[in-house]
Structure 1
Amino acid sequence: MHGSRITSVGHYQPAGVLTNEDLAAMVDTSDEWIRSRVGIRTRHIAGPEEPVDELAWHAGAKALAAAGLPPDGVDLVVVATSTAVDRSPNMAARVSARLGIPAPAALDVNVVCAGFTHALATADHAVRAGAATRALVIGADKMSSIVDWTDRSSCVLVGDGAGAAVVEACEPGQEPGIGPVLWGSVPEMGDAVRIEGEPPRFAQEGQKVYRWATTQLPPLARQACERAGFALDEIAAVVLHQANLRIVEPLAERIGAVNAVVARDVVDSGNTSAASVPLALSKLVERGEIVTGDPVLLFGFGGNLSYAGQVVRCP
């Protein structure tokens, strides 16, 4: 049980971009209204020919290429998503087939916006237990397929995309690069974020989520840092679920990691659910805002009012 580390990341967003001005032509809204309430300028929207597994495949392929890892080097694929259309084959199996991964354990995780951090913890636990040596962990969602485009309170929020990470076992004596997870949920408030009905539609109680996130999550995030053995002033970056800039900014401030870069990818990508944490992390790495070895706090939260967070070392 040597622990695990992230060795590479990758991300993908569809080419289609929907601006606030575009939305103003669809529903009763405006650029000023959207920016003042959620801080979003643009979001990427997948076309009808771009299913969730295609988004996940692109991100996973980039992460594998960045790691210099051939497909047959992966023995576990975990995909976090809540927007899969079919029940079987699952997204992990579809992505594995697209990537040519020959015989992985392939499982999906549906914890909505906290999906990626749950999936990352699952892969870390599998590696620690000796059940896997190299895992591909992906968060991917096509939120545009489940939103009501006539409801301005929800359609202004969402975007599509995917982010991925390669997780490998540490060498004996090597410090783990993925810290202990802190996870849990508030089941009695689970209906605050919903994807329900036929066809399924995304809805949420925005004020309830805002109050819960900004008051209840800061001490939990600090506890995740403590479990990993880091003081708050040692954290180089904070990557929260990109729900809404009006949640991300006060939550990051209340966590108290004063020296940290705060991911604000929601401004350009919208809320991409399970994709938001790995998408934002991969962009920070790509832009050089964090460097190899930097301790980064990841914290996902949302649907089910579930949460999961851990400190990872930047690949």
Structure 2
Amino acid sequence: MPGAGSRIAAVAGARPDRIVRNAELAASLGVSAEWIERRTGIRERRFAGPEESVPKMAANAAGKALSAAGLTPADVDLVVLATCSMPSSMPGGAASVAALLGIGGTAAFDVNAACAGFCYGLGIADGLVRAGTSRCALVVGAERMTDWVDPADVNTAPIFADGAGAAVVVPAPETGIHPVVWGGDGNRASLITIPDRHGHVMMQGQPVYRWATTELVAVAEEACARSGRRPADLKGLVTHQANLRLLELLASRLGAVNAAVARDVVEAGNTSAASVPLALSRLVAQGDLQPGDPVLLLGFGAGLSYAGQVIHCP
């Protein structure tokens, strides 16, 4: 019935096979492996191979999520792909994801809100499911950030990585995805850019760090308030996996003292729109979260865009 709630039925991730540790990058960048870890918190990350395209990784994660939810591709009527790293601006990748899953004739579109993309997509899917427009939505964050990184740039090469994470959104009698708090600051859009169609990611790390650790605390608090909870009530905190120091400072300033804090960045790097679902799926797989637990998701990045919502763990 339109107007009822929605929930995440399952979440899953797909990580590329190739593991790249700090020592592999350090020599070419003129730094040490310890320097990379001290600066970013990252010890290793995954790089996609030639056959691991954005749509293929997305379909892999989506298939796992559907299986975990006890559903099949035939049940899906909406595919939302959050990505900023497709090789070209047209066509989008969502229709290819649907085709790889064997889904024909379904609604499929891309969302580009960079690292906030998955949370944007989840907010959209929640609204469409509650409205009765969709009965089963796939929301996928998938990125090949290594295609857009200068391997000689010490500011970005150790940080960005590849992967995909997916969630299945279905109707529910009660609210399982609370209202999204989202927005952007276009006046600071120049802080994270790809200057041209064939260029590399350029990032001014310190201003972004200050923005994320100050202004986004209020966004997280508002997302909690819209769910009727305080930060101390959270059982999980899954922020965009940008930098270990950044996410731990956010957790401290938010006061999420009872929450399992996602630290997927240590082993996965920054996977942009894929980072939130990948980090959530790891917490679920490790048993750090239980079904029904309130979890804050918070994505933020280029734009500067941000989005966050409290969900109940599948």
The residue that corresponds to 1:209 in the other structure is 208
Deviation, structure 1 residue 196: 2.6
Distance 1:203 1:26 in 2: 19
Distance 1:205 1:125 in 2: 34
The residue that corresponds to 2:42 in the other structure is 40
Q: Is the 8 A contact 1:71 1:102 kept in 2?
A: no
The residue that corresponds to 1:144 in the other structure is 146
Counterpart amino acid of residue 166 in structure 2: A
| 1:32-111 alignment, distance < 5 Å | 32-111=34-113
Distance 1:291 1:259 in 2: 14
Distance 1:86 1:75 in 2: 25
Distance 1:57 1:73 in 2: 15
Q: Is the 8 A contact 2:16 2:47 kept in 1?
A: yes
Q: Is the 8 A contact 2:12 2:167 kept in 1?
A: yes
Counterpart amino acid of residue 310 in structure 1: Q
Q: Is the 8 A contact 1:5 1:313 kept in 2?
A: yes
The residue that corresponds to 1:287 in the other structure is 286
In the superposition, the TM-score normalised over structure 1's length comes to 0.97
Q: Percent identity?
A: 52
Q: How many residues align?
A: 312
The residue that corresponds to 1:19 in the other structure is 21
Secondary structure of the residue aligned to 2:201 is strand
The residue that corresponds to 1:176 in the other structure is 175
The residue that corresponds to 2:305 in the other structure is 306
Structure 2: 5+ residue runs without aligned partners? none
Q: Is the 8 A contact 2:26 2:36 kept in 1?
A: no
In the superposition, the TM-score normalised over structure 2's length comes to 0.98
Deviation, structure 1 residue 200: 2.9
Distance 2:297 2:138 in 1: 17
Deviation, structure 1 residue 94: 0.2
The residue that corresponds to 2:262 in the other structure is 263
Distance 1:278 1:200 in 2: 27
| 1:245-268 deviation per Cα after TM superposition (whole angstroms, max 9, x unaligned) | 121110111111110010000000
The residue that corresponds to 2:187 in the other structure is 188
Secondary structure of the residue aligned to 2:38 is helix
Deviation, structure 1 residue 114: 0.2
The residue that corresponds to 2:161 in the other structure is 159
The residue that corresponds to 2:128 in the other structure is 126
Aligned residues: CA RMSD: 0.9
Deviation, structure 1 residue 194: 1.1
Distance 1:195 1:164 in 2: 25
Secondary structure of the residue aligned to 2:155 is helix
Moved over 2 A (4+): 86-89
Structure 1: 5+ residue runs without aligned partners? none
Secondary structure of the residue aligned to 2:156 is helix
